A and B are shown apart, each in its own frame.
Chain A
Amino acid sequence: PAAELQKASLRLKWLPQAQFAGFYVAVAKGYYKAEGIDLTINPGGPNLLTENLVATGADMFGLSGGTDSVFAARDKGLPIVCIGVSHQITPFIFVTRKDGPVKTLQDFKGKTVTTWFTGANHVLNGMLAKEGIKPDELKIQPQQVSVTPFVDGNVDVITATYYNEFYTIQSRMPKDSLKTFVAEDYGITFPRDTLIVAEATAKEKPELVKAFLRASLKGWKDAFSDTKGAVDTVMAAAPTLDRAQQEFMLTEVKRLMTAGAAARNGIFWIDADAVKTAHDFFLKYGVISKPLDLAAAYDASFIQSIPAADRLP
């Protein structure tokens, strides 16, 4: 009965797109309602911070930036808890031209590299550190919205997500003319797209959190099995999107969400080892000021309480 539905909202980390298809599918198919939740999906955007909105109670659930932003938020004293991790492996890659001067990571030195300062910069720094390169040895610039400077040859290395910019670049130049640098090749992983709730929610409404996870999982599994239908659902919310790109995106997102530990333990699995590695890295490079209580920041109990069969893709 509608009267008993609990109102709740999910704040995305970005604008509506197939990156979030599972949540839209779950809403469209009534999975949240079936769990007693009347869920509204609120898009994110530049200058909006999911962690902030969740911490203040403006939104009940959030899909936040990533492990790095969860750490930063906890470090600043924001009372949020991570209840699940979407992208099990680093979604960013660094792209250069195959015929260009950059052949190895060492070649980054002295070159113009653009990246986002929203987390991708940490990935870059991490990779450089593994190779013993100091950030000031290259020209790191903030990356603008457009990939045009890279396509035009004004930039040597550009940051891209597998599912978005990489697609745009490929639509402008052939895939085999590109060379990519992947974080995992350098032994680091930054899981991203974390689901978060306020500490109070986690403590006072654990059943609601579990219900939310169950419904979301169902939505995602449906999205993965019927990508066309899922893209339809997303495009109902954002009709001006480019369908081909969204389909590509969903395929890539599926790969990211089912990689690593998720292949064994299911979607939204919190890989404690990966989290710990990232934490130590951030601590070492001063991104966070003090060691954090990881058990308090990442509460795997909710996702673990759901039967493995429901979690596995």
Chain B
Amino acid sequence: MSSPAATSLSDGRAAVRSITMPDSLRKLIRLLLGLAIAAVIWEGAVLLFGIRPYYLPRLSAILMAMAATPRAYVDGFLRTLAETLIGFASGGAFGVLMGVVFFRVRALREMVFPIFVVSQTIPVIAFGALVVLWFGNTLLAKAIIAFYLTFFPVTVNTLLGLETVDLRQVDLMRSFGASNGQLLLRLQLPTALPQIFVALRLAASLSLVGAIVGEWFGDTTGLGVLLLQAMFTENVVAIWGALLASALLGTGFYAVVAAVERRLVFWNAEQ
């Protein structure tokens, strides 16, 4: 984008920020406060009701265990993050692409779309071993599972979004002599963007599921590995540690996608 639009965007942003900053600060404080209260309730309930640690350990015990081996959690977090991101990005891109292709080529859509639906009824975990067989013990293998879970909702929503394009707007563009490419870039994709982002938010969670499940097939690092290890050594504290770490990753990633959505789909936000 050239400068005028850029300035206009940043202007708008600055204005928005100056208005919402105290608001977002208040939100942050409320969030932290909420977390603190939840932590106190957790700690208190375990102590008060004498819940046995292998059912529910104390929060402080979990945090201490995490602090004891920080590298494991940091490495796991980063590794899982990488897999999630690759799967998410490729799944998102492929999903949008297939959405556009299906939108354009009706015959292909009718032939392939049902197969896409069926593919989504296959439990990943059942053919995870096949992924290892085909793609080895690599980061790629995990990313592919994340990809597999991600692309479908994006395809569906892209298609849905493209189909909500106002035919009168299409006619308007055509009356200007617009080509198919111009139609797609200037009208159809922007129109579909809000719908696409709804799917991307969902995909953010799903790609993390894919990465974690993917790590259950013989990987050495990752939050999924930590989770599995904790599960099979019956180390409940470590289970919760891995769970908290993936909650952090999941919520964070979701928040980032939602923030990007607010930035890009600014025209939809105000309703």
Contacts and interface: CB of A to CB of B under 8 A. Distances in A.
Interface of A: 9, 11, 14-17, 40-49, 52-53, 56, 58, 145-148, 164, 168, 172, 237-242, 245
A164 B229 CA distance: 13
B69 A240 contact: yes
Contacts of A240: 65, 69, 72, 226, 229-230, 235, 238, 241
- By secondary structure, the B interface counts as helix
Contact of B228 (A40, A45, A53, A237): A45
B217 A48 contact: yes
Contact of A239 (B72, B132, B233): B72
B129 interface: yes
B228 A15 contact: yes
* 10 closest Cβ pairs, A-B complex: A239-B72, A239-B69, A240-B238, A42-B137, A43-B218, A42-B218, A15-B229, A240-B72, A48-B218, A58-B133
B234 interface: yes
Contacts of A242: 233, 235
Interface string B233-254: 1110010010000000000000
Interface string B211-238: 0000011111000011011111111001
A145 B230 CA distance: 10
Interface of B: 54, 65, 69, 71-72, 125-126, 128-129, 132-133, 136-137, 216-220, 225-226, 228-235, 238, 241
Nearest to A151: B54
Nearest to A52: B129
Given A58-B133, A239-B72, A47 B233 contact: no
Contacts of B65: 240
B216 A245 contact: no
A17 B129 CA distance: 21
A231 to B, nearest CB: 14
A43 B220 contact: yes
B145 to A, nearest CB: 13
A100 B220 CA distance: 41
B219 A43 contact: yes
A148 B234 CA distance: 9
Q: Which of A44, A47, A53 has the most CB of B within 10 A?
A: A47
22 contacts: A14-B232, A15-B232, A17-B233, A40-B137, A42-B220, A43-B218, A44-B218, A45-B228, A46-B232, A47-B125, A47-B126, A47-B217, A53-B129, A53-B132, A58-B137, A147-B234, A168-B234, A240-B226, A240-B229, A240-B230, A240-B235, A242-B235
